[in-house]
Amino acid sequence: MSFDQMYREVILDHYKNPHGHGVIEDADAEADGQNPLCGDEVSIYVAFGDDGETIDEVKFSGRGCAISQAATSMLMDMATGRTASEVATMDKDELLEEIGIPLTPVRLKCAMLGLTTLKVALHKAKGTPLPDGLAGFDELELT
């Protein structure tokens, strides 16, 4: 694989100019996620529309590699306008298709950090299902 195949233009664009980067004060839902492998951190903030279900605005802050930042940036676009339960059941392949590059297991964790954290935020606010691998966690362990 060449550098260009790995770091497609669209990945670099999202990395350099991330969509939905920032903080929502008084967010309806929020969560912090960490990738213990590299110490990366992301916080996700959600504001629902008047129906209390549809994601009106979603933002993220934190630090991470190009893959994690670009994937989270793409996710912000994908999640806006969907309901909490739609996002909670969103398949990871949908995001992976958007990213569009082959990822090793380690980089897969980078790519999934935003989606996992968003699902945790929605779970805490709306009781939607937790993402795979976190199911069975005690509420108190989720930050």
Question: From the list 10, 21, 32, 41, which residue makes contact with another protein (rule: CB under 8 A)?
Answer: 41
In whole angstroms, what is the distance from residue 60 CA to residue 69 CA?
Answer: 9
Q: Does 23 bind another protein (CB under 8 A)?
A: no
Question: From the list 20, 29, 40, 118, which residue makes contact with another protein (rule: CB under 8 A)?
Answer: 40
> Whole-number minimum distance, CB 53 to another protein, in Å?
34
Distances (CA, A) of 28 to 65, 84, 122, 125: 27, 11, 9, 7
* CB 29 within 8 Å of CB 124: yes
Q: Strands, DSSP E only, in the chain?
A: 29-35, 40-48, 55-63
Q: Does 18 bind another protein (CB under 8 A)?
A: no
* CB 58 within 8 Å of CB 44: yes
Question: From the list 25, 26, 37, 141, which residue makes contact with another protein (rule: CB under 8 A)?
Answer: 37
> Whole-number minimum distance, CB 12 to another protein, in Å?
7
Q: Which two tokens stand for residue 46?
A: 């959600």
> Whole-number minimum distance, CB 108 to another protein, in Å?
12
Q: Does 30 bind another protein (CB under 8 A)?
A: no
Which 56-115 positions form the footprint of another protein (CB under 8 A)? 63-69, 107, 110
> Whole-number minimum distance, CB 116 to another protein, in Å?
17
Nearest to 131 by CA among 81, 51, 75, 57: 75
User: Which residues of this protein are in contact with another protein, per CB under 8 A?
Assistant: 1-4, 6-7, 12, 37-41, 63-69, 107, 110
